[in-house]
Structure 1
């Protein structure tokens, strides 16, 4: 049953990631992958929030593994970082890695803190 919940969550998260990524990237005429950065930080914040809530296995399968797993994208992060390096934008690649990891961790922490504040 959990595998179906993961698949259903991913079916919602993946198109949202794609649409958000394209919309955000379309607002910037830059080599930096702003779209992937935004979806990864948002996914980290939401997952941090969810993990701090008392939720059952089904909810975590659907929202955590499925939706957040498909919303955020480590593979695209890696690909875009490699592409920056190949295009000679090594500084942007380093900024992408450092900012992506730091912002993702901070967002997860803020999400968890928000969940604790909301649930008392």
Structure 2
């Protein structure tokens, strides 16, 4: 095992407080938040189960891992929430001067659409 890998190999959590693995060295059954999101899951309130550590540009970096068996399905937006978001986006695209709905968001720096500015 390379020295860099040995520095971050702590599966019992004695050195770092939680089980720690090197880059791409975590066992199956763990995933990061991004990996959970790709599978349609979320941590679901569970604590951090382990971490991955590696030497990066700014020093030692870490990524937290969660258990796959405790992960829950992602919540989906209700029709009411989707309608509220659509209404808010329509308000951002409506010009205050000419009241035209534009295909882009009105720049806050101008306060009106580009044609009116």
- Into which bin does the TM-score normalised by the smaller protein fall? under 0.3
The one of the two structures with greater contact order (alpha-carbon pairs below 8 A, sep at least 6) is 1
**Larger proportion of strand:** 2
**Larger proportion of helix:** 1
TM-score (norm 1): 0.21
Asked which structure has the greater CA Rg, the reply is 2
